[in-house]
Amino acid sequence: MNSKVALVTGASSGIGEATAIKLQSLGYTVYAAARRVERMQPLAAAGMHILPLDVTDDASLQQAVTTVMTQSGRIDVLVNNAGYGSYGAVEDVPADEARAQFEVNVFGAVRLTQLLLPHMRAQRSGTIINITSMGGKMHTPLGAWYHGTKFALEAISDCLRMEVQPFGIDVVVIEPGGIKTEWPDIAAEKLLAVSGHGAYARQAHAMANSMIGDASKKRQSPPEVIADTIARALSVRRPKTRYVVGFAAKPMLFLRRLLSDRAFDGFMRMATGIARQKT
């Protein structure tokens, strides 16, 4: 009961799983939350608390918060990691899919934050860590809705940081680059399902290959680099507001600041192979 308490969403794999393991190794009482409870059994066996959590279901969110507060009486760290990538041409992506991505990547994270903030304010301490992406500062072809969610979470994090600072609460943004998770496969699958045929098919196939091709997968960073960065942010009295980490993240964001919009468009079309595809 004396250890600090952390809630990590999207903990069934990838960054969330690695973060839960890292925080437990540092002495945190960890609540690992995700929809796929069966995939978190190794975390349960390691002594973590497992929570079924659907971030698009308000009742599920409220139950998770009630469980944490009833069992541990406090919350020191919230890691909003749950999210997914859904690519496709703006013209092709159904409105329901666009809304679904915002529900998971933005509204779910913000609602969970809303529910936990009264407890952090009462104890006058806490850290909210939002996992965005280098995609929250730059754009890639056929990724409008995904980037929209990450740009939104970046902006919300900035506003939230100013609001909660007087209560002793920190807000930290983690901007991962290419990480070895299920994300590229899911994003590519959705991209080809939506835009793999029709007017944007050539672009879609080129972009999907850039996501899941062997060259890309070999260069991706392990999810532990994100977990280690989160641990570093939590170890200091005054953490940075943003941490850029993972394959290509720093050079890509540097190029985005350096190049004009059209120059960056051209660079991305070349880098993803779309420039070689004629419609």
What is the rounded average pLDDT of the residues 202-222?
Answer: 90
CB-CB neighbours of 84 under 10 Å: 16
pLDDT in tens, 227-252: 999 999 999 999 999 999 999 999 99
Q: Residue 276: its pLDDT value, please?
A: 67
Instruction: State residue 219's pLDDT score.
Output: 87
Question: What pLDDT shows up at residue 213?
Answer: 84
pTM: 0.94
Residues paired with 129 in a beta bridge: 79, 172
Give Cβ neighbours of residue 278 (< 8 Å, ≥ 6 apart).
202
201-212 vs 261-272: helix axis angle to the nearest 10?
Answer: 70
Checking if the pLDDT of 277 tops 60, the result is no
Integer Cα distance of 249 and 260 in angstroms: 18
Q: Which residues contact 142 (CB under 8 A, 6 or more apart)?
A: 87, 88, 89, 191, 195, 200, 203, 204, 207
Which DSSP string do the residues of 233-258 spell out, in sequence order?
A: HHTSSS--SEEEESBTHHHHHHHHHH
DSSP annotation of 17 = H
Provide the pLDDT for residue 218.
83
Band (pLDDT 50/70/90 cuts) for residue 215 is: confident
Question: 3-class secondary structure for 20-80?
Answer: HHHHHHCCCEEEEEECCHHHHHHHHHCCCEEEECCCCCHHHHHHHHHHHHHHHCCCCEEEE
- Percent of the chain exceeding pLDDT 90 equals 94
Model confidence at 275, pLDDT cuts 50, 70, 90, reads confident
- pLDDT, tens digit (0-9, with 9 covering 90-100), for 47-64: 999 999 999 999 999 999
Q: What is the mean pLDDT of the chain?
A: 95
Calpha distance 245→228 (Å, rounded): 10
Quick check: 1 pLDDT over 60?
Answer: no
C-beta separation of 27 from 4 below 8 A: yes
* Beta strands 242-245; 5-9: pairing state: unpaired
In sign, the C-alpha dihedral spanning 238, 11, 99, 253 is positive
- With the CA atoms of 55, 58, 60 and 65 taken in that order, what torsion angle do they form, in degrees rounded to the nearest 10? 90
Is 200 marked active-site? no
Dump pLDDT digits (tens) for 82-138: 999 999 999 999 999 999 999 999 999 999 999 999 999 999 999 999 999 999 999
- Catalytic pick from 28, 31, 146, 200? 146
Q: What is the pLDDT of residue 214?
A: 78
**Pairing state of beta strands 77-80 and 5-9?**
parallel
pLDDT bucket at 216, cuts 50 / 70 / 90? confident
